[in-house]
Chains A and B, each alone.
Chain A
Amino acid sequence: VQLVQSGSEVKKPGASVRVSCMASGYNFADWTVNWVRQAPGQGLEWMGWSSPYNDNTKYSQKFQGRVTMTTDTSTNTAHMEVRSLTADDTAIYYCARGDYRDYTGYPMDVWGQGTTVAVSS
């Protein structure tokens, strides 16, 4: 069971970034994919999740309107796009497996290796 993320990105302020997360070793369609980030010197911050089971998404209020999370069951891949980047979005972005189907409260038990996104002019 593993999640493999796309490579590091360097973006200018105002740009968008798309991070991918490919799952293997389990039935991707049954489990939500969470996105969590860690800015330099800061703690873990939950951004939201997307569910390939029912196509639902839930975003943290902080990122609502600026982030889009999707899943593609044909490639077992989750994607997250963050728009209107600022220097404050410089962080390591992780995907993590979450809830099973319609159930809630599950732990994030499998994590991707992280994708570094640097935002700089």
Chain B
Amino acid sequence: QSVLTQPPSVSGAPGQRVTISCTGSSSNIGAGNEVHWYRHLPGTVPTLLIYGNTNRPSGVPERFSASKSGTSASLVITGPLAEDEADYYCQSYDSSLSGSAVFGGGTKLTVL
């Protein structure tokens, strides 16, 4: 069981809005630790998609956005493209684990 909980899969059609949730607790997300998001296509290297809760690194399309509230965070993909089919992971740090990094279990995005 992952410390951060994500839905195993989500799907959406181009033009729709897809949301991936990441639920933590008072010792990680709720403690004010920042949330980062990664995209991982099996067989390739994970890439940083969102850092510091809401920030997109240069080169990441604007259709990717994220937010954080309380003990949860969300990644939103507005108008997913076929190329966005991948696994998405949230990551934060957990104060009860002496600041260890923790990942969500990952969410597989299927573009319809």
A residues with a Cβ closer than 8 A to B are 34, 36, 38, 43-46, 49, 58, 60-61, 94, 96, 98, 104-105, 107-109, 111-114
How many angstroms from the CA of A45 to the CA of B52 in the assembled complex? 20
Beta-carbon nearest neighbor of B100 in chain A? A60
Report whether B87 and A107 are in contact in the complex, using a CB–CB cutoff of 8 Å.
Answer: no
Report whether A43 and B105 are in contact in the complex, using a CB–CB cutoff of 8 Å.
Answer: yes
Report whether B102 and A46 are in contact in the complex, using a CB–CB cutoff of 8 Å.
Answer: yes
Interface string of B35-60 (1 = CB under 8 A from A): 01010100001111001100001000
Q: Could you list some 18 contacts between A and B, CB below 8 A?
A: A38-B40, A43-B89, A43-B106, A46-B100, A46-B102, A49-B101, A94-B46, A104-B99, A107-B48, A107-B51, A107-B52, A108-B46, A108-B91, A109-B51, A111-B46, A111-B47, A113-B45, A114-B45
How many angstroms from the CA of A61 to the CA of B101 in the assembled complex? 11
Beta-carbon nearest neighbor of B35 in chain A? A107
How many angstroms from the CA of A111 to the CA of B93 in the assembled complex? 18
Report whether B46 and A109 are in contact in the complex, using a CB–CB cutoff of 8 Å.
Answer: no
Q: Is B34 in the interface zone, CB < 8 Å from A?
A: yes
Beta-carbon nearest neighbor of B101 in chain A? A46
Chain A contacts for B91, CB-based, 8 A = 44, 46, 107-108
Q: What is the CB-to-nearest-CB distance from B79 to chain A, in angstroms, rounded to a whole number? A: 25
Residue among A44, A45, A61 making CB contact with B40, cutoff 8 Å: A44
14 A-B pairs besides A44-B40, A46-B100, A108-B48 with CB distance below 8 A are A36-B103, A43-B103, A44-B38, A44-B106, A49-B101, A58-B98, A61-B100, A104-B93, A105-B33, A107-B36, A108-B36, A108-B38, A108-B101, A111-B45
Beta-carbon nearest neighbor of A109 in chain B? B48
Chain A contacts for B105, CB-based, 8 A = 43
Chain A contacts for B46, CB-based, 8 A = 36, 44, 94, 96, 108, 111
How many angstroms from the CA of A75 to the CA of B86 in the assembled complex? 35
Task: Given the known inter-chain contacts A108-B38, A114-B45, please indicate yes or no for A43 contacting B2, CB distance below 8 A.
Answer: yes
